[in-house]
Amino acid sequence: MKSIDKGYINGEFVTLHGTQVFDLISPTDHQLIGQVTLGDETDVERAVTAAKAAFKSFRKSTIAERIQLLQQLKEAVSKNTTELTEVMIQEYGGTRQFCTMSTMMSLSNFDSLIETLQHFEFERKAGNTLVQMTPVGVVGIITPWNASNGFICSKLATAIAAGCTVVVKPSEMSALQTQVLTAIIHEAGLPKGLFNVVNGLGNVVGTAITTHPDIAKISFTGSTITGKQIAKTAVDTIKRVTLELGGKSPNIILEDADFEKAIPQAVFGAYMNSGQACVAPTRLLVPKAKLDIVNQLAKAAAENVVVGNPTNDATNVGPMVSEKQYERVQNYIKIGMEEGATLLTGGPGKPAGLENGNFVKATIFTNVSNDMRIAREEIFGPVLSIIPYENEDDAIAIANNTTYGLAAYVTSADESRAVKVAAQIEAGRVCVNGFKHDPQAPFGGFKQSGLGREFGAFGLEEYLEPKSILV
Ligand code: NAD
């Protein structure tokens, strides 16, 4: 069992003022795998003081110096990918397949920001005026448990590119993963105070960050409900706020698509990161006339999904992160059945032989109506809703009939037709014919899926204040 009893402040692992201890329980077998000491307001104060002092000099760093730091971080992370992947599997229960990819994506953030910096214009002209893009200040980074180190890496890389310093509050359920990453970042040798970490609860450490007058911006990834709370709290000091929130992403399969290929892909996609992915395509929109064949293909695909121990190479769906998350998903399965959706496969309870962990059966509901709660609310587990549509306009209307707007997917034999449909979807990212990622493309939500964008030049702008100098 590991004990994480220190924070990382001003370039050192330091004993925290906070004393509350939080148990880290394995999602796979419910064994106690670690304990983390949680910080408090005093610890946040120390971390912000360090970040504020470091900002004084780091704001003046050159582009070449920032690129050098990003390269150092990339090298340090790339030497430790195995350790980062293993601790993610152990603590979070993410599958080996997903955690391996997630670690590689963490690395790609450094490359992406280096590339962005090589072209980014920090000085521009507007009319006759010189516009300088200046670093916003100390950034409070608050992250969720579902790809914790990936979010810390992408937000830290962007902050460094902008000339900002940071105070990070990861999910209390990600302490082992954060510890591994923090040790790696420590070895990379950043200037003291640039990167600080305080473990703690959202309503203590999180609130201390979102209310602190010396924090200029919050970069938050997490649930919509917490994002709203953070936006309200941050307004008192007029912080800049970037919110990456939840989703209920539609996956439109047009009638000309290759269903034999598209439906299994849609099922496996919905279960990405064991269903605990903000961009998971959890609403599968299919032509009503093809519902029978879709049901057959989807059921067969779900029966091929391997739910099990996340360390095994073949596992597609691991356990839910916590018992609370397991109960939440079970509750939605019950709601789906009560609402009258047809349970196609999976359902309540744990798969046989997996009773010791937070495992959920790979579940599909069909004949789902878009006004049911299972079609409207983010479940964050391996539960897919198949929703039939009448025609293309109906599909677009259903896709957009949601409070969310993070991602969407369109599949068609005719790519230009799919792009025309994509243009009508209210979502920050629409993937055509498959699941894609581009670390340079802006990422973020329409509607209640978020505010602002991350990644590449668009993400960098969110950490900068334009200053007009009129001579
Ligand atoms: P969460 O909102 O419960 O917690 C996220 C973080 O916020 C945690 O560190 C938590 O301690 C902290 N927090 C909680 N209350 C706070 C408060 N009052 N003030 C400040 N901080 C507070 O989310 P979660 O359950 O950890 O993660 C799952 C959610 O994250 C899902 O809704 C998912 O869709 C979303 N998510 C979004 C994206 C995206 O890029 N849009 C990516 C991953 C996850």
- How many angstroms does the Cα of residue 223 sit away from the middle of ligand 1? 4
Nearest-CA residue for atom 18 of ligand 1: 203
Give strand pairing partners of 100.
none
- The residue to mutate among 41, 151, 177, 223, having the most atoms of ligand 1 within 8 angstroms of its beta carbon, is 223
State residue 467's pLDDT score. Answer: 98
Q: What is the pLDDT of residues 345-385, one digit of tens each?
A: 999 999 999 999 999 999 999 999 999 999 999 999 999 99
Nearest to 255 by CA among 366, 431, 410, 365: 410
Token pair for residue 82?
């195995």
Give strand pairing partners of 125.
130
Kindly state if the Cβ of 246 falls inside 6 Å of ligand 1: yes
Nearest-CA residue for atom 10 of ligand 1: 202
Q: Which residues contact 263 (CB under 8 A, 6 or more apart)?
A: 253, 284, 286, 294, 297, 298, 301
Q: What is the pLDDT of residues 8-26, one digit of tens each?
A: 999 999 999 999 999 999 9
Token pair for residue 1?
């069992």
Sheet order of strands, 2-4 included: 2-4, 32-37, 21-25
Q: Tell me which of 91, 99, 172, 244 is the catalytic residue.
A: 244
| DSSP tag of 443 | B
State residue 125's pLDDT score. Answer: 97
Looking up tokens 């040798």 gives 189
Fold agreement (2-245+447-469, 250-432): no
| Helical axes 63-78 vs 96-119, angle rounded to 10° | 160
Nearest-CA residue for atom 11 of ligand 1: 202
Locate the ligand 1 atom nearest the alpha carbon of residue 170 and give its number: 9
Please report, in angstroms and rounded to a whole number, the separation of the first and last CA atoms in the chain: 62
Q: What is the mean pLDDT of the chain?
A: 98
Read off the pLDDT band of 330 (50, 70, 90): very high
Nearest-CA residue for atom 20 of ligand 1: 206
Read off the pLDDT band of 217 (50, 70, 90): very high
What is the mean pLDDT of the segment spanning 298-327?
98
Looking up tokens 């059945």 gives 337
Looking up tokens 């990819």 gives 101
State residue 210's pLDDT score. Answer: 98
Give strand pairing partners of 6.
15
Read off the pLDDT band of 393 (50, 70, 90): very high
- The residue to mutate among 226, 233, 279, having the most atoms of ligand 1 within 8 angstroms of its beta carbon, is 226
State residue 57's pLDDT score. Answer: 98
- For 150, phi and psi rounded to 5 degrees? -60, -45
Strands of 77-145, DSSP E: 123-126, 129-135, 138-142
Contact predicate 34/26, CB 8 Å: no
Q: Which residues contact 76 (CB under 8 A, 6 or more apart)?
A: 184, 185, 187, 188
Token pair for residue 28?
């796979």
pTM: 0.97
Contact predicate 193/413, CB 8 Å: no
Annotated active-site residue 278? The verdict is: yes
Locate the ligand 1 atom nearest the alpha carbon of residue 171 and give its number: 9
State residue 43's pLDDT score. Answer: 98
Q: In 10 A of CB 124, how many CB atoms?
A: 12
CATH of domain 2-245+447-469: 3.40.605.10
What is the mean pLDDT of the segment spanning 445-459?
98
Instruction: Give percent of the chain with pLDDT exceeding 70.
Output: 100
Dist CA 194 CA 113 (whole Å): 17
Dist CA 187 CA 202 (whole Å): 28
The CATH homologous superfamily to which domain 250-432 belongs is: Aldehyde Dehydrogenase; Chain A, domain 2 (3.40.309.10)
State residue 218's pLDDT score. Answer: 98
Kindly state if the Cβ of 244 falls inside 6 Å of ligand 1: yes
Annotated active-site residue 153? The verdict is: no
Read off the pLDDT band of 76 (50, 70, 90): very high
SS (H, E, C) 240-291: EEEEECCCCCEEEECCCCCHHHHHHHHHHHHCHHHHCCCCCCCEEEEEHHHH
Cβ-defined contacts of 57-64 (< 8 Å, 24+): 57/191, 58/135, 58/163, 58/164, 58/165, 58/191, 58/194, 59/134, 59/135, 59/163, 59/164, 60/163, 61/163, 63/117, 63/122
State residue 389's pLDDT score. Answer: 98
The domain locations on the chain are 2-245+447-469, 250-432
Contact predicate 163/190, CB 8 Å: no
| DSSP tag of 235 | G
State residue 260's pLDDT score. Answer: 98
Token pair for residue 389?
């549509």
Q: Tell me which of 99, 153, 164, 278 is the catalytic residue.
A: 278
